[in-house]
Structure 1
């Protein structure tokens, strides 16, 4: 991680770095500490575009006019600009200065966060939660080194040389492959420390809190040495040479790993050159290519849905070994050693060990809390073959504005993102001014207002009641919560295989449409939330594969936990669009208190009471009856009726049947806040 950050600091044209890791792995800490390590940059005091002294940008009015073109130069620490997950497009790229346009009629550009980040670091925490179109804009600007703005009558461009750093927790959902490819480098952080290392981290943290300035003074010399090395590397980089045979090796590696497009080849070329400059050399070597491949190809390999990034280093090492053997054979045939005087410029920068990027094993994932089970009664079933599902088209029941990202449902946007489809009178402070609609409202009254205001009135007179804001249309995702019966009865005739296959089919659809998913399993004496609602459908897949079967059937506890989970989600996000999918045969024999009942009478009443509560809460639901055999009690059908849910038998449990049931459920419900389980 630190290596990738340093390489991008030396050469921002690499294209940024994506840091993947679970919570608590110091991703944000590493990025924020980088700014103090980098050399200070000269800027014009007061300039919003961080212009170089005596080299103002045409778009910068401060440097062109007020500062007289030269301005007062000053040294400033490299700036870190944080991009919030809820940022709007105009805040990011810049927009028309509305206040100035209304007052003077001039089209002045108001710079956004990309302009502020010029010659600095643009940091996005939880980049996987950012709207896709904003990520596209950012990556375009980072790759081109320039920000182009074409909106609201403004057509400008300005320099945007910044280091782009994104961090993400894969458990909360991944970026689309198209966006992953746009990041120059990607690294995985596992955060596994030995006890001695953990103790050292604690000691340093306590020492810093006790005396911050003294602690920083103790590291000042080491930081200065690294800062000097970075400056030398930046100066050396233009003179680094990549031999033809090394370029051939780079392209061969990308072809062998079946990397789509040519961005991987170009990034490897730039990264290997930067590594050589950092190590004090002017010629790229084989080991530079290996290290560059570990960071540039991890996220670019072709992979199927749910497949985690995995770089097979054995294949890479074999190619590099073969290349070195061929090089030695050529040297032998040429009559000896060609010398390596040109491989080092005399500096003695120490080369750290090449970092290994061993992909995380499935076994390294955090184990979900497993339900209590009767001794010796657990079975594990494989996941059945998934099917292609029809579109699960979730339509919001109202025209209320919502925030969110995804491609499941079309809704009115709750922010400044999305397609402009109309205007309205603002219910509160204006956040997205519809200039055209405002002018149309004000136009018929201009003659009267000028007569009232007198000859010195402005050209255009706008009153507060003329103001209109934009209505935008965007796409949003859904929350799908599965409540699965994992009791012993599901093992009969291997019914769990078919149920897991159906759930997997819906997870594949959710992966493509960026939905959030959750998984509840009930067995033994209680229900357990195996996976809290999350954007990571990969986590749902892991939990589904590892879910055991056995024990009694606490169906009431499963329904209770489902309602509790959905209510908690609705309190956190009132825009949630949820659906509850219950997969069970309806044979409950454990009550909410965890007591086993052989008769099942009181338990059945308890289950139906909870099902009625689901209906009263107007939670749309689907009940999949997993009962099989010659004699069928159809207890699940009674539960579906009490729940006002769609009822489907296991015999009809093809994936397209579940998809149709979930799709048909939403238009039939007059819901203020639909819920997907």
Structure 2
């Protein structure tokens, strides 16, 4: 099955757009079995797909849009405070999930959806499940995706960002649903083998793929699923969820393609007119290799590169936001909780009213205290507000400025720091610089976003002498404590070969210096600081690997690194969120 064909002489729809249009056609025909769709990328292509879905559904289908900061009462239903105060009795209101029953629930900016709201929606899908969920993902490449709890409950995940042309499509006819075609056990086995080859750990995508294949066959007027239906289901459902590359197919002259040897004479009964039907050769099963090749062809090239690099899950790179922390006054609003206001904790008045109104009938029967108002409150009714902050990240470069290769290392560090500082205002990040050489370590550049100040400090950075690695790690820990006290998240980048010859007390001696460095690394790990150790020696050294292991940091051997390579390596492992999002700290 393909997307609706364009008219004669007209350009065909973009392949990504055609896949999305086919997905919404299947979705409209079997909404209860396919759950919903995630549309990644904004623009006219997404609007076209949404219009197509609306046209395929009955005209009276309800459409609801989830607000950005929805609370539990508006989402799931609760007490209508205004109506309850007027009538004097609890008045319940329907939530958005109830209003979307039998229709479509659209979630804009799904990549920013809070986990508690995602959990409520997932619970509703697992319960009644009588609405279609459409996630609108506006995230760019390398940014956060919608919550996995919701993506797993949707059959289709369509990426519309590659769409470069729109072609006219035939008018859509509202679908009344389609009967499910029959899917053989061989087809189920082929789908399961394809899911295993793609590294899909969940069972839900396989069930969605089976439902999509059965729906596609039914819409084509077939009573049984064929190979084309299975390939379509693999391209639309399984390929976007691949976490590893499929295995390479066997060569043509390999043994598995050769026919099996005939059995020895006398072991099998000879064929004859009275031969039982069970002795007939079994029909050839559906080829799994064709499904795997179809899946591999449908995986976008950037996903193939991420899978080949061992990074199947797309995550944020090098943003300016650090870890999430609870806050009393500011940040992203979270759901309220029972508690006493005070000490910087604010009262959630609306939630407190919702908790108190249902009990007013019983409380009015009790004697009122002097000065009691219209609403009787109890201590258990009080709700307090909660917020979540994402702290800014400060990247601290700790540079080994000792030895004969100091000039090369310092040049790389200077270039990397300047490259990151050039993006500081966009990504809301700061940079600090520590150098250790001779007898100790020195903080050359406190946390700053000033490019002029950084260049001035980098230009005066000397090199040569011993390697006081333990002192450098100890100073990094002190700088990290000062950064954390300011409400920011330190991230350490150690540029060193891991070889130390100056102990923590300043004494010379390689064995003691190595022990002191490992001890300082363990103390840094105990503080749960995030770090990366970049080995910039001529060849990867075991000392640097042991240092990273003691620090619980990532180890990156980059013997031929330059400034661009160091900047890319730091961007790859730096914890962060969406570039450009301002910190609430």
- Which TM-score applies when normalising by structure 1? 0.48
Q: Structure 1 residues 400, 288: CA separation in 2 closer, same or farther (over 3 Å shift)?
A: same
**Structure 2 gaps, min length 5:** 1-19, 261-276, 285-293, 307-321, 437-441, 446-450, 463-478, 505-515, 531-581
Provide the residue aligned with 1:180 in structure 2: 151
When the two structures are aligned, how many residues end up with a matched partner? 422
Three-state SS of the structure 2 residue aligned to 1:187 is strand
Q: How far is the alpha carbon of 1:38 from its aligned partner?
A: 2.5
Q: Structure 1 residues 20, 164: CA separation in 2 closer, same or farther (over 3 Å shift)?
A: closer
**Counterparts in 2 of 1:69-148, with a 5 A limit?**
78-104=61-87, 106-146=89-129
Q: How far is the alpha carbon of 1:110 from its aligned partner?
A: 1.0
* Residue 18 in structure 1 maps to residue 38 in structure 2: yes
Q: How far is the alpha carbon of 1:660 from its aligned partner?
A: 0.7
Three-state SS of the structure 1 residue aligned to 2:527 is helix
Specify which of 471, 478, 494 is matched with residue 384 of structure 2: 471
Three-state SS of the structure 1 residue aligned to 2:183 is coil
* Residue 288 in structure 1 maps to residue 229 in structure 2: yes
Q: What is the rounded CA distance, in whole Å, between the counterparts of 1:594 and 1:426 in structure 2?
A: 43
Specify which of 134, 137, 141 is matched with residue 167 of structure 1: 137
Provide the residue aligned with 1:2 in structure 2: 21
Q: Is the 8 A contact 1:186 1:296 kept in 2?
A: yes
Provide the residue aligned with 2:4 in structure 1: none
Q: What is the rounded CA distance, in whole Å, between the counterparts of 1:442 and 1:181 in structure 2?
A: 46
Give CA-to-partner distance per residue, 1:410-438, whole Å, 9 cap, x none.
xxxx34x2543456899799442344457
**Counterparts in 2 of 1:171-570, with a 5 A limit?**
171-175=142-146, 177-191=148-162, 193=164, 197=165, 222-224=169-171, 227-228=172-173, 231=175, 234-235=176-177, 237-238=178-179, 240-255=181-196, 257=198, 259-298=200-239, 300=241, 309-310=243-244, 312=246, 356-361=297-302, 400-404=328-332, 414-415=333-334, 417=335, 419-422=337-340, 430-436=349-355, 446=368, 461-462=374-375, 470-471=383-384, 478-484=391-397, 492=405, 523-524=414-415, 527-529=418-420, 558=421
Q: Is the 8 A contact 1:80 1:121 kept in 2?
A: yes
Three-state SS of the structure 1 residue aligned to 2:145 is coil
Q: Is the 8 A contact 1:580 1:621 kept in 2?
A: no
Q: How far is the alpha carbon of 1:263 from its aligned partner?
A: 1.9
Q: How far is the alpha carbon of 1:468 from its aligned partner?
A: 7.0
Q: How far is the alpha carbon of 1:469 from its aligned partner?
A: 5.5
Three-state SS of the structure 1 residue aligned to 2:38 is strand
Q: How far is the alpha carbon of 1:135 from its aligned partner?
A: 1.4
Q: Is the 8 A contact 1:93 1:113 kept in 2?
A: yes
Provide the residue aligned with 1:41 in structure 2: 59
* Residue 32 in structure 1 maps to residue 15 in structure 2: no
Q: What is the rounded CA distance, in whole Å, between the counterparts of 2:397 and 2:163 in structure 1?
A: 33
Provide the residue aligned with 1:534 in structure 2: none
Q: How far is the alpha carbon of 1:2 from its aligned partner?
A: 2.4
Q: Is the 8 A contact 2:328 2:387 kept in 1?
A: no
* Residue 660 in structure 1 maps to residue 527 in structure 2: yes
**Counterparts in 2 of 1:633-644, with a 5 A limit?**
none
Q: What is the rounded CA distance, in whole Å, between the counterparts of 1:428 and 1:101 in structure 2?
A: 20
Q: Structure 1 residues 31, 430: CA separation in 2 closer, same or farther (over 3 Å shift)?
A: farther
Provide the residue aligned with 2:572 in structure 1: none
Q: What is the rounded CA distance, in whole Å, between the counterparts of 1:597 and 1:334 in structure 2?
A: 78
**Structure 1 gaps, min length 5:** 43-77, 147-159, 205-218, 302-308, 338-352, 366-391, 405-413, 451-459, 497-520, 530-557, 570-578, 602-610, 635-648, 664-673
Q: What is the rounded CA distance, in whole Å, between the counterparts of 1:279 and 1:448 in structure 2?
A: 75
Q: What is the rounded CA distance, in whole Å, between the counterparts of 2:149 and 2:522 in structure 1?
A: 28
Q: How far is the alpha carbon of 1:92 from its aligned partner?
A: 1.6
- Which TM-score applies when normalising by structure 2? 0.55
Q: Is the 8 A contact 2:38 2:136 kept in 1?
A: yes
Give CA-to-partner distance per residue, 1:42-64, whole Å, 9 cap, x none.
4xxxxxxxxxxxxxxxxxxxxxx
Q: What is the rounded CA distance, in whole Å, between the counterparts of 2:403 and 2:163 in structure 1?
A: 38
Three-state SS of the structure 2 residue aligned to 1:172 is coil
Q: Is the 8 A contact 1:580 1:619 kept in 2?
A: no
Q: Structure 1 residues 249, 492: CA separation in 2 closer, same or farther (over 3 Å shift)?
A: same
